[in-house]
Structure 1
Amino acid sequence: MSAENELAVVPPKETALTVFSTEKGLDPWLQQVRAKVDEFKKVLPDLKTDKGRKAYASMAHQIAKSKNALEAVGKEISAKQKEIPKLIDAERKRVWDTLELWQKEVRQPLDDWQAAEDARVAKHKAAVYQIEEMAKFSEAPSSSEVARLIAELEAIALDDTWEEFLAEAAQVKDHTLAKLRATHSERTQYEADQAELALRRAEAEAQAQRDRDAEIARVAAEQARIEAEQRAQAELDAAARREQELLEQAAAAQLATEQAARDAEAAAEHQRLQLELQAEQARTVAAQAEARRVAAEQRAEQERVAATQRQEQAVEQARQAELARQAAAVAFELEQAQAREADKAHQGKINRAALEAFIAGGMPEACAKQAVTLIAQRKIPSVSIAY
Structure 2
Amino acid sequence: MSEVTDLTVIEIKTEQAPVLYVAGGLDAYLEQIRQAVNEVPDLSTKKGRDRVASLAAQVSRSKTAIEKPGREYLKRLKEAVRPAEAEIKRFVDACDELRDATRRPLTEWEAEQERIKAEEAMNAMHAEALVMNEEFDRQRAAQIEADHEMALLMNDKFDRDRAAQIEADHEMALLMNDKFDRDREEQRRLAEQAQREHEERIKREAAEQARRDAEAKHKAEIEAAARREAEEKARAEQAERQRIEAEQRAAREKQEAEARAEREKAAAVEAERLKAKQAEEARLAEEKRKAEEEARRAADKEHRRTVNRRVYADLIAQGIPEEFAQKAVLAIAGGKVQDAHIKY
Give TM-score, length-normalised by structure 1. 0.30
Structure possessing the higher relative contact order (Cα contacts under 8 Å, 6 or more residues apart): 2
Give TM-score, length-normalised by structure 2. 0.33
